[in-house]
Amino acid sequence: MESTLSRDEIRRYSRHLVMPEVGREGQERLQTARALVIGAGGLGSPVAMYLAAAGVGKLGVVEFDRVEESNLQRQVLFGQSDIGLPKIEVASERLRQINPLIEISSHATKIDAANAMDLVAGYDLVIDGSDNFPTRYLINDVCVLTGKPDVYGSIFRFEGQISVFWGARGPCYRCLFPEPPPPGLVPSCAEGGVLGVLPGIIGSLQANEAIKLILGIGETLVGRLLILDALSLRFREMRLKKSPDCPICSAAPKLTELIDYEAFCGIDQTASEPDEINISVTQLRRRQEQGHRPLLLDVRTPREWQICRLDGAKLLPLNELTARWQELDPEQEVIVYCHHGHRSARAVDFLRRAGLP
């Protein structure tokens, strides 16, 4: 059979072609494969770069954020000159530089229950590079409903996790985590930090799993959760079983369509209405110049407080708020802040219900 690979492709993928496990047939499988990467951050960067380099024929990237300076410690798709630019534009150009012989599909949007089915429809597998629970459950559910594998990865501080959730052939994410943790219990990477090289390690492993799935070789992580402790550099493995009570991948599923994942994860959307609770630093300074003296309440961790803080602020970490909120003067206006706004929004919701202005 005559090869469908061009001379340029034969030269580019020569190290694949000499491997019996890949060869011409395997490279042609990669050439016709369609992979969707959700997120172009810490995990999505190495995943997309290695899949592009490997020759995955159609590579889709979903991303809606802009490059921030704090991204550069771990998100290797971006550089100093990219700060402030849309991530999807920078990522797409970088991936085309890595491999101009493949198709890069840019999806400048946030994946949600309204668009997830359409986004996933044109792809064979999905790689989860998200950083929040609503999106993880959404990706899992849309993959189960469409019968596609979900290459999962997560990172926090020095620990990383990776698995392949594939409801048609094994357990899904809901089999492992039937319910999300209570809001605020698990800190985000912005709140707790992450070792800069860790997403590179986990993301590379995700790319490895995606390539094995496309080629149909090796033993994938379906039914296994791999956990890395980067401090000790030890891996441990958990065997996962399909839950007979899983609401979406069991024989009698209760979920047959996508749901409101923010509500499922206990995130109060009313707490993020701009006109209701948000105040900019410019507005705060203007009010202070007019004589207002609200209490500035910092709900970050003591470690974050040591790095930087606003003058005159009071530290009351979010996880101590329910036990210590009565330390606050109920007659004084309170303005709450954190790093990204998620913790302060939860704190405001609690304090309002407690009766503080």
Q: Which residues are catalytic?
A: 189, 338
Tell me the one-letter amino acid at 164.
Answer: V
Tell the residue number behind the tokens 């309440």, with chain if given. 297
Tokens of 49: 């770069």
Cα torsion angle, 296, 301, 302, 305, sign? negative
| Residue 67 burial (CB count, 10 A) | 23
Helix 44-54 with 198-215: angle, nearest 10 deg: 40
Question: Is the distance from CB of 322 to CB of 350 less than 8 angstroms?
Answer: yes
Question: Is the distance from CB of 297 to CB of 284 less than 8 angstroms?
Answer: no
Distance CA 186, CA 183 (A): 7
| Residue in 164, 273, 139, 173 with CA at minimum distance from that of residue 222 | 164
Distances in Å between the alpha carbon of 10 and those of 15, 123, 309? 9, 25, 56
For every residue of 319-349, DSSP letters joined together read GGHHHHGGGS-TTS-EEEE-SSSHHHHHHHH
- Strands, E assignment, the chain: 34-38, 58-62, 103-107, 125-128, 150-156, 159-165, 224-229, 234-239, 295-298, 314-315, 334-337
